[in-house]
Amino acid sequence: MKRPAYHALQVLTGLMLVSGVVRFGVVATSAVAAEGNLPEMGLPASATDGCAPASDAVLAALRAREDRLVQREGAMADRMRALEVVEARVQNQLVALDRAQSDLAATMAQASTAASNDLATLTAVYQEMKPEEAAAIFTAMDPVFAAGFMAMMRPQTSAAILARLDPAQAYGISAIIAGRNTGAPTN
């Protein structure tokens, strides 16, 4: 914001200098003409006839340029205010987005913890059941789902339940448990 104001001051200073030189020339020419020394300088009297209108035209052009500069400064100030408003809105939206993201992460963590707690509770229930009763439930389960519970149980309890399942089903659950981490990186 300092830059446009600095340039405007330079332009205005230049305009004032040009105006001063033009005025000095007009005053000096009129003073010389008033003393009657123009013919002595070898200048014809008609040489001063066009000076006043020319200086008025230059002055009018300088004023018009100054008016355009003032209008541009006003337009730039309006744009800066509009940009500040937009920037404030974007900052507020970023803060709201960060807050929403934090809330979502907390909700996801809470849901994950709740799901883990539910699975741990259900696993504990299956471990406390008699192996025959648990085997009847595991027979009805999807093998991948059953393998998840078996992997979380104590080995003795899992062995007792697997021993009471159909051999093909017990083998399928065992294969799923054994293959769970085969794709995991070893480094």
Query: What is the Cα–Cα distance from 18 to 133, expressed in whole angstroms?
Result: 105
Half-sphere exposure in the Cβ direction for 120 (13 Å, CA): 6
Query: Looking at residue 146, what is its pLDDT?
Result: 92
- Tell me how far CA of residue 75 lies from CA of 12, 27, 55, 71, 84, in angstroms: 18, 38, 30, 6, 14
User: Which residues have CB under 8 Å from 69's CB, separation 6+?
Assistant: 8, 11, 12
Q: Note the pLDDT tens digit of each residue in 104-158.
A: 999 998 888 888 888 889 999 999 999 999 999 999 999 998 999 999 999 999 9
Global model pTM greater than 0.75: no
Instruction: Tell me which long-range contacts 112-117 makes (C-beta under 8 A, separation of at least 24).
Output: none
Q: Convert the pLDDT of each residue in 68-114 to its tens digit.
A: 999 999 999 999 999 999 999 999 999 999 999 999 999 998 888 88
Cα–Cα dist 126/132, whole Å: 11
Q: Are 149 and 126 a contacting pair, CB within 8 Å?
A: yes
- For 7-66, the pLDDT digits (tens) are 777 877 888 887 877 777 766 666 555 555 444 444 455 544 555 667 888 888 899 999
Q: List Cα–Cα distances, 173 to 132, 142, 165, 187, in angstroms.
A: 17, 9, 10, 27
Each domain of the chain, given as residue ranges in start order, spans 2-30+49-109, 129-179
CB 69 within 8 A of CB 8: yes
Residue 102 in tokens: 């934090």
